[in-house]
Amino acid sequence: MKTTPSSNHVFVLMGVSGSGKSAVANAVAHQLKAAFLDGDFLHPRANIQKMSEGHPLNDDDRKPWLEAINDAAFAMQRTNDVSVIVCSALKKRYRDILRKGNENLSFVYLKGDFDTIESRLRARKGHFFKPQMLVTQFETLEEPGADERGVLVVDINQSLDEVVAATITAIEETIKK
């Protein structure tokens, strides 16, 4: 196992529900031959049960989940050249938890406007879409500002292939630094 992660990078694809995080991350990981993790797989049992009962998670519920993703990012950074993690990371304090102790962790913010994302969610086959969920996501979102290090922004108002290509370009430019 490698002991110095300095040349290895972890990229967290973040954004509101419907921004394309999973689809983009899967394609990017495949094309870059990168390790991939969907952060939702790390939710504790209590969170899964709470959400399945229709109750939203609060920050206290999210903390152990974000810490688990932080640990996973640390492990992935130690053993993989490039790793991709999907996590909404809507608030700055969530992103700060993910960054802690992970020196080569960057965020790829899949940025899109409400109307674009709403139309994509409505078009999903076999997906139950609640418009209020998207409203809540945008209300919760604290867009990364210039004061946050390691944030790459990709505009999702283009085709999936174009978003994937833009994400790969942003990742490759970060790796070269």
How does pLDDT run across 95-114, given as a tens digit for each residue? Answer: 999 999 998 999 999 999 99
> SS3 sequence, the chain?
CCCCCCCCEEEEEECCCCCCHHHHHHHHHHHHCCEEEEHHHHCCHHHHHHHHCCCCCCHHHHHHHHHHHHHHHHHHHHHCCEEEEECCCCCHHHHHHHHCCCCCEEEEEEECCHHHHHHHHHHCCCCCCCHHHHHHHHHHCCCCCCCCCCEEEEECCCCHHHHHHHHHHHHHHHHHC
Query: What's the order of all strands across the beta sheet hosting 9-14?
Result: 35-38, 82-86, 9-14, 105-111, 151-155
Q: Kindly report the pTM of this predicted structure.
A: 0.91
**1: in domain:** no
Mean pLDDT of the chain: 91
In a domain, 80, yes or no: yes
| 60 located within any domain | yes
What total of structural domains would you count in the chain? 1
Domain CATH code at residue 110: 3.40.50.300
Per-residue pLDDT, 125: 66
Counting residues of the chain whose pLDDT is more than 70, the rounded percentage is 93
For 78, the domain range is 9-176
Specify if 3 maps to a domain. Answer: no
Determine the pLDDT at residue 4: 46
In a domain, 2, yes or no: no
Q: Is the pLDDT of residue 132 over 80?
A: no
